[in-house]
Structure 1
């Protein structure tokens, strides 16, 4: 069903197009706020492109930066960035709908369509309840994070004043849960390289943000059902999501451990190697926070992390990329075809053909987008940066991750605009982006004769 939403009674936009417009408007307003004199430290100047880049990176919860956040922005500026991370994390329509509900307003069909697109869902029923749970989970988890990190920063002596500990704990909790990748420590989490408690708390928040709101909601429903001694069955989506997420997490940890075993962590004790590998496996999915200088990793490790960033987080989460279920569906389909079968089965269920088609569309478009961006940026930069650094930067932007080898500030303005486009597409999702670009020519109901072609 195609629903158009009137804009100022003169322009009609589809739900997907209006979502793009809303995010674009939010970026424009936020850029204006960050350009205010009291948002930046005294004596600090930022050109328009760098200011816009920072805003896009924040609202798409990516974390790629062209300047040190702590040295560039005042507490007012960092609070604006934290708000942008919150908006980008839960979604513009989620925040707007929650405010709408507080004032007792009804959510019409048009707004439900917007929520469905923004949350990457495929049905309109139950969306208001979903929004309430999504916002509730976000606030509850972040508040626990603020309490946890404030206590650690204060009692472990990182910040002698409670106000400083709270300020850093507040920002870090939001950045970690929304997988924003921004930090006000000045060097990401490199100062906490051996503080496993800070790392563990960060890992938990990143996973809770990246696993996806539907999984959290089903987990909550399961707990309620168990308490009431009722039967509960997890959906196929949650099963596939959790299994894929765990497999990628384990493969990532093992892969990084062995690739860097004779590299960056060569002389480190076993527990330091383990946390190094685990943390980087988690943060590469969309977190963007790092405990070391990424540029010091081996080339194979950087390429391996690029693959993880390309896959990204789960659907309806704070992360980007092609998403875990897309990757799982592609792999399952290839396995099915290799076995000479037609139907893709998993957990005793058959995958819908429309979902399989969507997965290959997302995967193929994602690959084309990444390859094209790499070629253009590498050409524009005139080989001033290594190809692996460009690949890493591009996949980090698309996966809304934020990890970087440090080349972001030195890129040309055109390259920065390309990265902004990748971050934007990564946040709203490839399907939503493609739908927003489509034009209805009225041929949807026409069926042409079928004729086979040679494939492969």
Structure 2
């Protein structure tokens, strides 16, 4: 379904009617842009503002919105509006699309996702529009609304596309706009199940309300990673890029880059100005990505957390993996290691291939960064995307596609349950 949508989106974006005068796009560049928008990645081989006119930007916005909330969420809402019943097969697709374990309550959840998305994006659009207009960044309220709405949608869906032409470079000292963008990025990446439970908690006003283990793990991991990223950027760049900056500029650059590396894709400075250790730190953050059932990609926060918890449990001699006074199901532990291992194999293989395709025209750091950004559907780049060859672009398209759908969903697509007819004798193998 995502593949068909990507091809249709590519066909629409290739129409000259949506381009600026004199602009011609190759098929691979159009496909790359369409997949990047649908996977809400934000990697671009062309300058969005210089390539697409206002109608093209509108089409791009629609594709980003579809990719952000998910095809099944959009389809469910349309079915509900027109009064159609949703069958079992459709519900199973919803379950896979939203990384859920059970069919019950799916329609209600997807309705909440759709309404919640529109509400948050609307508030973000209003705030950005008013700031852009009254701060004098644009010459009319119409333009302020145009820029404000697009970037609110792009931020909440964690797409990272911009139509300013240089991401958020013009707002590196505007902390109001940065704060709005950060809040939108976090709300989009934290995961819809977390937003649903938070809403239930606020609505009930019941202090005995028990958050699920999923919400506790993903929120805790999300916050810890944000703090590690902020502290890491600050310490690694304090005597480098941040050396001549004031204390609030150091905090701003450190925190914003920590947030945007989790799936945002926006930038307030040139990432290439960072040192290699910082770039590698941000690459790691991008591979980890956002939370499950969110608009982000990567291996997801819960996968990373369970892998670490399993290692700690084994080191302590525990036979069970525990968190917040709960025992984590063995199937979830297995899935976490399968996803983590598969992701490492995929990322390493992609780095080797991309470096080979480019015949070492780009540094290994920039190649690792580009691969991590594509797989994590982040969109940050060190400026090499537009200079890549066709083979490299196809590789990144595949990575963005897998990153959006999720590695587990891809593996489940090929999985076929088989009951063993023969049970072989067990034998130990030397490990490590």
| TM-score interval (norm. to shorter) | over 0.9
1:381 is aligned, of 334, 339, 358, to: 358
Give how far 1:447 is off. 4.6
Task: Give the aligned partner of residue 347 of structure 2.
Answer: 370
Per-residue deviation, residues 286-343 of structure 1 (Å, max 9, x unmatched): 0000000111110100000000001000000000000000000000000011111111
Task: Give the aligned partner of residue 227 of structure 2.
Answer: 250
Are 2:390 and 1:413 equivalent residues in the alignment? yes
Give how far 1:43 is off. 0.3
Q: Is the 8 Å Cα contact of residues 16 and 24 (structure 2) preserved in structure 1? A: no
Per-residue deviation, residues 419-452 of structure 1 (Å, max 9, x unmatched): 1111111101001011113356x44676544332
Q: Which structure 2 residues correspond to residues 34-433 of structure 1 after superposition, within 5 A?
A: 34-226=13-205, 229=206, 231-433=208-410
Q: Distance in 2 between matches of 1:423 and 1:377?
A: 14
Per-residue deviation, residues 48-91 of structure 1 (Å, max 9, x unmatched): 00100000000000000001000000111111111111111110
Q: TM-score, normalised by structure 1?
A: 0.93
Q: Distance in 2 between matches of 1:275 and 1:394?
A: 26
Equivalent residues, number: 432
- The structure-2 alpha-carbon separation of the partners of 1:192 and 1:446, relative to structure 1 and needing over 3 Å to count, comes to farther
Are 2:429 and 1:453 equivalent residues in the alignment? yes
Give how far 1:106 is off. 1.1
Give how far 1:230 is off. 6.9
Q: Distance in 1 between matches of 2:288 and 2:147?
A: 30
Q: Is the 8 Å Cα contact of residues 170 and 268 (structure 2) preserved in structure 1? A: yes
Q: Is the 8 Å Cα contact of residues 85 and 180 (structure 1) preserved in structure 2? A: yes
- The structure-2 alpha-carbon separation of the partners of 1:157 and 1:374, relative to structure 1 and needing over 3 Å to count, comes to same
Gaps of 5+ in 2: none
Q: Is the 8 Å Cα contact of residues 119 and 316 (structure 1) preserved in structure 2? A: yes
SS at match of 2:386: helix
Q: State the 4+ residue runs in structure 1 displaced beyond 6 angstroms.
A: none
Q: Is the 8 Å Cα contact of residues 392 and 405 (structure 1) preserved in structure 2? A: yes
Q: Is the 8 Å Cα contact of residues 267 and 380 (structure 2) preserved in structure 1? A: yes
Q: Distance in 2 between matches of 1:122 and 1:445?
A: 28
Q: Is the 8 Å Cα contact of residues 225 and 231 (structure 1) preserved in structure 2? A: no
Per-residue deviation, residues 105-141 of structure 1 (Å, max 9, x unmatched): 1111101000001111111110011011111110000
Q: Distance in 2 between matches of 1:447 and 1:180?
A: 48
Q: Is the 8 Å Cα contact of residues 176 and 202 (structure 1) preserved in structure 2? A: yes
Task: Give the aligned partner of residue 33 of structure 1.
Answer: 12
- The structure-2 alpha-carbon separation of the partners of 1:148 and 1:445, relative to structure 1 and needing over 3 Å to count, comes to farther
Q: Distance in 2 between matches of 1:191 and 1:446?
A: 66
- The structure-2 alpha-carbon separation of the partners of 1:446 and 1:184, relative to structure 1 and needing over 3 Å to count, comes to farther
Q: TM-score, normalised by structure 2?
A: 0.98
- The structure-2 alpha-carbon separation of the partners of 1:334 and 1:149, relative to structure 1 and needing over 3 Å to count, comes to same
